A and B are shown apart, each in its own frame.
Chain A
Amino acid sequence: MSEPSERPATLEEAIIQVRGLQNRFGDHVVHDQLDLDVMRGEILGVVGGSGSGKSVLLRSIVGLLKPSGGEVRMLGERLDQLSERQRVLLETRCGVLFQQGALFSSLTVTQNVALPLSEHLKLPRADAEHLAEVKLALVGLPPHAGKLSPSELSGGMIKRAALARALALDPDILFLDEPTAGLDPIGAAAFDQLLLTLRNAFGLTVFLVTHDLDTLYTACDRIAVLSDKRVLVADTLSVVEQTDDEWIRDYFHGPRGRSAQSAAHSAREA
């Protein structure tokens, strides 16, 4: 069930369109004339060297950062042209998993997940917490974890709890910033599988910023390579691998790339 090639056939609708995006901080230009499409139902992996602006791209798509130029359309709407109400409505259809989890440290894990439910939907507390517990079980956290506070969780549990919070409102689009960074290989592999399961069950579209080659090989349908201030190539893994570019060659055909590749191939044969 976890083959990337098994994605649904209803893909060819761009759920996120980025056109001519420009981001600059002072004199430092991070993105220039950047175009990118994210199709409905796919898992798009975004890779690039450190400082190539992967997280900045994510932040400008979800509206945390106002781009200096260009436009971002999500579900056909431009975030910056919406009224406050419509904007909140659109934001509730996105879930974001931040790099450090960003769980609210003053709330328990269950309260963290239940917060959007009770605030946006005015659910009674008992119902919201019950749904939150279901979400926590969905991402594979043990039942007792819900009563802990975020500071008592391990790194892997924080990622899972943050994922449960991102999924709280059953979003259409999920943004993940380095979800497997800092996890041990077993935890990271389990996270990849979880991601595929959830995508297949909920029909999620996933925008995944990552450095993890194994994640790219096991979970992603398409890969976008950020380099030189724009998207160098965005296509399936086999096409990206063959692209003639120094960085891509080093990345995918370096020692780590080769081992991830052979691991993925042997897993597929088995």
Chain B
Amino acid sequence: MQSEGSPGALQGGESEDSKSLVATGDWTLAHYATLCGEVERWRGAEALELDQVLRLDTAGVVLFARLLGVERLSVVADSDTSLSAERRALLRTVCDALAKVAQQPVARETSALADCLARIGQGVQQHLQNLVGLLGFIGLTLAIGAQVVWRPRRWRINALMSQIQNTGLNALPIVALLTFMIGAVVAFLGATVLEAFGASVYTVDLVAYSFMREFGVLLAAILVAGRTASAFTAQIGSMKVNEEIDALRVQGFDPAEWLILPRVLALLITLPLLAFVGLLSGLLGGGLVALLALEVPLGRIIAIYRDVPLQHFLVGMGKAPVFAFLIAVIGCREGFRVGGSAESVGQHTTSSVVQSIFVVILVDALAALFFMEMGW
């Protein structure tokens, strides 16, 4: 790319009607826009003299070819002895390349409506495929799990322990802190609404029931989905980019057994524990607000917590393993779907977080309906 020099131009030759032109000046990339206009003006030329061209590069040759056609230009390259050897070599080389590609830059034809419909169709199809793929992956995980569970020698205890530490222990403070604060928020909310009915004492019941049935496990699951599903996808995805998964496979190791099972098992163990911790600290947060701001006596709070029927606790905690399994499977599957590029790792990490949070909330909503109908 050179910026100096004057842009090239075309002039008619000696006789007006012979359609023969003389090219002058610089025919380089830097003047591309000007030269394009010049070429448009002289469309349909049949002969061209190039010996007055000062600088010439690929872009210039491409434009000459647009003016004359590749065949005529290669004849010029072969026969015009007034040109230097280097310039003819340039013309020759670019003409050879041009013969292999389409002549004109093709402007894309698009219609907004067709595009829109196509995108909707693509999206629906992708989601259906995604769902089928996810079901297949769940099946694969269960099958491998069933094979391995009878053979303790194939349990990857070290990997399992390190996953438990990463996904469970390290997530404990944030889960506890967050549910504590939400517990306090729910208590304040309850106090504000129930005060109008003179029933602010039921604030404690609100906190107790909501955390035991829903919030303890739901908040823990959403946090784990954001924190751990993304980590699973990124870990497995970068292994895939580095061909580490292929390396495992050719050495006769089953990547599913080495990578998926420890992660799924770890989450199956840690999410119920995290949910339980979340439940406790939510109750603590709500209780503290009731005690300090609403001045409910401590004995009363404890009595309310104690009198919540056990079934509510079981309904809440029973969902934790289901969430754990779904989150882990989605995280791992997105990792395996990563293609060869860095961008793909990012895309699938995002997708794994979105999918797992979506699935957690969807399943929770369905479960709430089901339990309500069952009267549990």
Interface residues in chain A, defined as those with a beta carbon under 8 Å from any beta carbon in chain B: 1, 8, 89, 92-93, 105-106, 117, 120-121, 123-124, 126-127, 129-131, 133-138, 143, 149-152, 167, 169-171, 197-198, 200-203
Given A123-B33, A126-B105, A202-B58, 18 other A-B residues pairs in contact with their CB atoms under 8 A: A93-B1, A105-B340, A106-B342, A121-B30, A121-B32, A126-B108, A130-B102, A130-B104, A130-B105, A131-B58, A131-B59, A131-B62, A134-B98, A134-B101, A138-B93, A143-B101, A170-B59, A200-B89
| Cβ 8 A contact of A134, one of B32, B62, B343, B344 | B62
Is the beta-carbon distance between B97 and A138 smaller than 8 angstroms?
Answer: yes
- CB neighbors of A among B1-16 (8 A): 1-3
Chain B residues numbered 24-39 whose CB sits less than 8 Å from any CB in chain A: 28-30, 32-33, 36
Q: Which chain B residues numbered 79 to 120 have a C-beta less than 8 Å away from chain A?
A: 86, 89-90, 92-94, 96-98, 100-102, 104-108
B62 to chain A minimum Cβ distance, whole angstroms, is 6
Contact B3–A89 (Cβ < 8 Å): yes
Chain A residue with minimal CB distance to B60?
A: A170
The 8 closest A-B pairs by CB, nearest first: A151-B340, A105-B341, A130-B105, A137-B97, A126-B105, A106-B343, A170-B57, A201-B93
B88 — nearest CB in chain A belongs to which residue? A201
Chain B, interface SS category: helix
Between A and B, 11 residue pairs with Cβ closer than 8 Å are A1-B89, A92-B1, A93-B1, A105-B344, A106-B341, A121-B30, A131-B62, A143-B100, A151-B339, A170-B1, A202-B58
Please measure, in the bound complex, the distance between the C-alpha atom of A123 and the C-alpha atom of B28, giving whole angstroms: 13
What 0/1 readout, one digit per residue, does chain B (233-259) give for beta carbons within 8 Å of chain A?
000000000000000000000000000
Q: List the interface of chain B (C-beta within 8 A of A).
A: 1-3, 28-30, 32-33, 36, 57-59, 62, 86, 89-90, 92-94, 96-98, 100-102, 104-108, 339-344
Report B-chain residues with C-beta under 8 Å of the C-beta of A197: 93
Chain A contacts of B58 at CB under 8 A? Answer: 131, 134-135, 138, 167, 170, 202
Which A residues touch B62, using CB under 8 A?
A: 130-131, 134
By beta carbon, the residue of chain B nearest A128 is: B105
Chain B residue at minimum C-beta to C-beta distance from A91: B1
A253 to B111 CA separation, bound complex (whole angstroms): 66
User: For the complex, what is the distance from the CA of A201 to the CA of B58, rounded to whole Å?
Assistant: 10
Do A134 and B93 touch (CB < 8 A)?
no
